[in-house]
Structure 1
Amino acid sequence: MATQRKIVHVDMDAFYASVEQRDDPHLRGKPVVVAWKGNRSVVCAASYEARKFGVRSAMPAITAERLCPEAIFVPPDFVRYKDASRGAREIFHRHTDLIEPLSLDEAYLDVTENKTGLPTATRVAKTIREQIREELNLTASAGVAPNKFLAKIASDWRKPDGLFVIQPHEIQGFLLPLPVGRIPGVGRVTESRMKAVGIATVRDLYRMELSDLEGHFGSYGTRLYQLARGIDHNPVVANRVSKSISAEDTFQLDIPLAETEQQIRRLAEKVWRASRDNARGAKTVVLKLKTKQFNSLTRSVTPSVPPSTCDELTTIALALRERIELGPQQLFRLVGVGLSNFQLDAESPLFEDESAAASAEPSI
């Protein structure tokens, strides 16, 4: 059997909102929504106090205001968020150099061999969380598992401020009862498609033949077949170059910003279809514009929860227009929409075969 990996997924709790609450004592314990307030703005993050009212990242800010009238809206300050993210990254590097950031607030760490000599990945995760609390005055949740797929699920299991470990011999018992919606990358649309063919839980996936899954979901069916068995060959890739999917349109006649909505909606639909076909989840939404004078502008946002539907992507892309401040007289000749910072990458061997994966029982 190949060497058993020990993977930690660290996810900062309500990161942007937590930074705001940390830096402003008056916000602590209150429903904080990180967003520009406006009809077309979207929520970048929500504190756990706001989430109790149903406020979620990527929803329109006007919806968040309706759900939680007492919410305190705070405009995003990415300079401070990046600074806090760098602090967490420095802590990660004390333990391993195999770090794969997914966004400002989460990362995978391969601690199969850690730099501090701690005996288990569980101890490493516990120490990292303690250091984040003591040095950054923030909390983080962590998942520990033999691969990235399971570590990602585990980090969300006891949020906020939690630690959950999936030992190799516990994989099937843990996975099979889960609803398929708990699989990272399975959004509401894919989940609906699965339910239409009788798949509601991971156990349902497990029982299906590979050929049937490929017939229903194409190449993604192979991935689902492996995930239902707890198999994920993707290594932690440090210093990964971000990939992107984008589409753009040059207008026949230059138009003002206010008239770009129809094109943005169409381009968002095109990008969403392309990203789903590749079965990859993206964290960052990008809006590109080119003025009549051929000056290019880009605006981007990385919400704490990536868009899970085309409508959410469209809402975010349209909201990014609010950050273009060139005046109503400015005309534009091109608009583009993009997704980047993808979560899934190429595979490399982890286990020699599936039977080895099922029988391995070392402690992590």
Structure 2
Amino acid sequence: MQLQPPFRKIIHVDMDAYYASVAQLDNPELRGKPIAVGGGGVRGVVSAASYEARKFGVKSAMSNVLAKQKCPHIIFVKSDFKRYKELTAQIREIFYDYTDLVEPLSLDEAYLDVTENKKGNPSANDIAREIRQRIFEETGLRASAGISINKFLAKVASDINKPNGQKTVHPEEVIDFLEKLPVNKFYGVGKVTAAKMYNLGIFVGNDLKQKSLEELTTLFGKSGQHYYNIVRGIHNSPVKPNRIRKSVGAERTFRENISSEIFMLERLNDIADEIENRMIKSNAKGKTITLKIKYSDFTQQTRSKTVHHFIFKKKDFFPIVKELLYQEKIKNSVRLLGISFSNLNTTKKEPVWVQLKFDF
């Protein structure tokens, strides 16, 4: 089966080891050395690793302790989100020189629809190469790119020639590409799902393709339809230039577990200050306040309350946070607390960046 035109031209641009690369850009002494962003505390977690560190098996979401074991000479550096956002704004301006159809996924990656672009260039491959070159010339950072007929394929392709490379999957290559692609390389298929697929004898796209829609739905629930479509090159989600902000939140992981509710309130008080600032900057108000609690055994609990009117000021929502904290007894020591607002009044569309804060 061959896919039928017309085809969109989608680019997925993914910055290479973004946070670590920014640290090396701003501090030449770190260049060529294994570094991890996220702090070096005992309770810290690696949020990004340089390619030099990745050679030793260090990767994001790994504990700092394990990272140090794998790479004894690793250098830990703190996150600098102000700097990341500054550079991201520069990179986005480059994107907008080519198309207004830009969908940010995070600070370091975005989709671009260049089917019709401002340069009148029919080659998405050439546009991607030009964008990557401009990013390097204007910021000193490297990026990789994937180019294909839909977002799914572009996302998968951008990972193939990393770092500092790009991969184009042309329309006539899509089916063959997907049939040979290992299922763990399918964007959205995590370790657990991949292991389940392996147990079912599904190792590459062609194996997945042999399963009927009914079988896949039985095996994977709602995701079955998604897997059935993507292995056939079907993914019709358009590039959405903006996202509706659905929530505003902040959370903090602690160096040491907290057992006292008094101390928890002190930490929540600081988080509430940040929430109020974010609500003001977003021009947002909300009705639902949620308290997030992650215990030392990594179990998680959320407690929510919805009020009848929109609020955003700390003096109005912090008493609710306090009420939620004391709603029931804390069952264990706590390693993370968070507050979020949902059920917002905002209709303005804007990119949403998720940021996890750590104590250092």
Same fold (TM over 0.5): yes
Could you tell me which residue of structure 2 aligns to residue 134 of structure 1? 137
Could you tell me which residue of structure 2 aligns to residue 223 of structure 1? 226
Instruction: Report whether the alignment pairs 1:119 with 2:144.
Output: no
Confirm or deny: 8 A CA contact 1:42 1:319 kept in the other structure: no
Q: Write the deviation string for residues 91-117 of structure 1: whole angstroms up to 9, x where unpaired.
A: 000000000000000000000001012
Extract unaligned runs of 5+ from structure 2: 252-259, 268-292, 304-314, 323-333, 343-350, 355-360
Confirm or deny: 8 A CA contact 2:46 2:61 kept in the other structure: yes
Give the whole-Å Cα distance in 2 for the aligned partners of 1:66 and 1:134: 36
Give the whole-Å Cα distance in 2 for the aligned partners of 1:261 and 1:240: 28
Out of 166, 170, 173, the residue aligned to residue 169 of structure 2 is 166
One-letter identity of the residue aligned with 1:266: T
Q: Write the deviation string for residues 228-265 of structure 1: whole angstroms up to 9, x where unpaired.
A: 1111111100111245699x9xxxx946449x653883
- 1:151–1:69 distance in 2 versus 1, CA, 3 Å: same
Give the whole-Å Cα distance in 2 for the aligned partners of 1:83 and 1:221: 40
Confirm or deny: 8 A CA contact 1:177 1:202 kept in the other structure: yes
Matched position secondary structure for 2:125: helix
Give the whole-Å Cα distance in 2 for the aligned partners of 1:293 and 1:66: 41
Matched position secondary structure for 1:101: strand
Out of 93, 97, 100, the residue aligned to residue 97 of structure 1 is 100
Confirm or deny: 8 A CA contact 1:108 1:236 kept in the other structure: yes
Give the whole-Å Cα distance in 1 for the aligned partners of 2:115 and 2:297: 45
Confirm or deny: 8 A CA contact 2:295 2:336 kept in the other structure: no
Could you tell me which residue of structure 1 aligns to residue 319 of structure 2? 294
Could you tell me which residue of structure 1 aligns to residue 299 of structure 2? 266
Q: Name the stretch that deviates more: 156-165 or 58-67.
A: 58-67
Could you tell me which residue of structure 1 aligns to residue 235 of structure 2? 232
Instruction: Report whether the alignment pairs 1:28 with 2:28.
Output: no
Out of 67, 70, 85, the residue aligned to residue 67 of structure 1 is 70
Give the whole-Å Cα distance in 2 for the aligned partners of 1:245 and 1:217: 31
Could you tell me which residue of structure 2 aligns to residue 58 of structure 1? 61
> Once the 2 structures are TM-superposed, how far is the Cα of residue 17 of structure 1 from its aligned partner?
0.5
> Once the 2 structures are TM-superposed, how far is the Cα of residue 195 of structure 1 from its aligned partner?
1.9
Identity %: 48
Give the whole-Å Cα distance in 2 for the aligned partners of 1:143 and 1:294: 48
TM-score (norm 1): 0.71
Matched position secondary structure for 1:294: helix
Matched position secondary structure for 2:53: helix
Q: Which has the larger radius of gyration?
A: 2
TM-score (norm 2): 0.72
- 1:84–1:230 distance in 2 versus 1, CA, 3 Å: same
Confirm or deny: 8 A CA contact 1:263 1:335 kept in the other structure: no
Matched position secondary structure for 2:177: helix
Q: How many residues in Structure 1 have an aligned counterpart in Structure 2?
A: 286
Instruction: Report whether the alignment pairs 1:194 with 2:219.
Output: no
- 1:54–1:244 distance in 2 versus 1, CA, 3 Å: farther
One-letter identity of the residue aligned with 1:214: T
- 1:118–1:57 distance in 2 versus 1, CA, 3 Å: same
Extract unaligned runs of 5+ from structure 1: 272-289, 298-317, 322-333, 344-364
> Once the 2 structures are TM-superposed, how far is the Cα of residue 57 of structure 1 from its aligned partner?
0.7
Q: What is the RMSD computed on CA atoms of the aligned residues? A: 3.3
Matched position secondary structure for 1:216: helix
Q: Write the deviation string for residues 177-229 of structure 1: whole angstroms up to 9, x where unpaired.
A: 22111111111111122222222211111111111001111111010001111
Instruction: Report whether the alignment pairs 1:16 with 2:16.
Output: no
Confirm or deny: 8 A CA contact 2:37 2:46 kept in the other structure: yes
Could you tell me which residue of structure 2 aligns to residue 45 of structure 1? 48
One-letter identity of the residue aligned with 1:125: A
One-letter identity of the residue aligned with 2:319: F
Matched position secondary structure for 1:176: helix
